[in-house]
A = this chain, B = another copy of it.
Amino acid sequence: MSKPSGTDQVDDHPAFVDASSLKEPPTAKGARTRAALVTAARTVFERDGFLGSRITDISAEADCASGTFYTYFSGKEEVLAAVLEAAQDDMLHPGLPHVNGTDDPREVIAASNRAYLTAYLRNARLMEILYQVASIDPAFQELRRRRAAKFNERNSRHIAELQERGLADPTLDPLMAAKALSGMVSRVAMELMVYEDVDIDTTVDLVTTLWVNALKLKAPEEARPPSKRAGRGGRRRS
């Protein structure tokens, strides 16, 4: 099924498949310590930002000595990767948009957006941090890009499908539109929900309406411009 608007991902990062920090902890205690460090790192990053944080703070937060940090990670970048990886699990299942029984594209889009924004809210600060780091560290930039690509692909497919069914503006480039619209959603998520505390229902409504309008989405029954009415040329958006 195609999901329009970042259904199960946060931001443009659909899959935090990272390879860097997959050192499976050897011992049981080791695993616990490592986990504590990852949790602590997230806390500290969210509090102080990535660049503002110090390794000392992370180990302190994890209740261990600063030296211990280096048993599991080679530096801040690596914990960050681990933190993102951990967050991914949380973000992959944000109540998947089981738009049961509905075919109405608007409902599907709304559900997707809701799922996306819900997950976003839980991980907003982390996203902000990823953004920051990406603009500094090419590795994270790449990470961000690769994931955004997957994500946009999916939304793009959904748009294309709607176009094929005659439900969306056929003049739009599906991939470009997908990028622009999901960009809009993630921006709105940060600006309105995080900074301005707008409630999620309002936000879902807003972005869904704009998204639907932007695609000139028709109701399914209007689909496939019936040949006979072709003369009328009525391809009314929305």
Interface residues, chain A, with chain B CB atoms under 8 Å away:
49, 51-52, 128-129, 131-132, 135-136, 145, 148, 169-173, 176-177, 179-181, 183-184, 186-188, 191-192, 195, 198, 202, 206-207, 209-210, 213-216, 231-238
Contacts and interface: CB of A to CB of B under 8 A. Distances in A.
Given A213-B215, A213-B216, A207 B180 contact: yes
Contacts of A214: 210, 213-214
Given A128-B135, A169-B238, A180-B184, 15 more contacts: A51-B136, A145-B195, A171-B238, A172-B210, A177-B210, A179-B188, A179-B192, A181-B210, A183-B187, A183-B188, A213-B213, A214-B214, A216-B237, A216-B238, A232-B233
A119 to B, nearest CB: 18
Given A187-B183, A191-B183, A238-B216, A206 B51 contact: no
Contacts of A129: 135
A191 B179 contact: yes
Q: State the copy count for this chain.
A: 4
15 contacts: A49-B135, A51-B51, A131-B131, A132-B135, A169-B238, A172-B209, A176-B206, A177-B206, A179-B191, A179-B192, A180-B187, A187-B187, A210-B214, A213-B213, A216-B238
Contacts of A131: 131, 135
A11 to B, nearest CB: 11
| Residue among A183, A213, A215, A238 with the highest chain B CB neighbour number at 10 A | A213
Nearest to A213: B214
Given A136-B49, A145-B195, A183-B188, A234 B237 contact: no
Contact of A206 (B148, B169, B180, B198): B180
A186 to B, nearest CB: 7
Contacts of A202: 176
A235 B235 contact: yes
A86 B38 CA distance: 42
A200 B173 CA distance: 15
A233 to B, nearest CB: 5
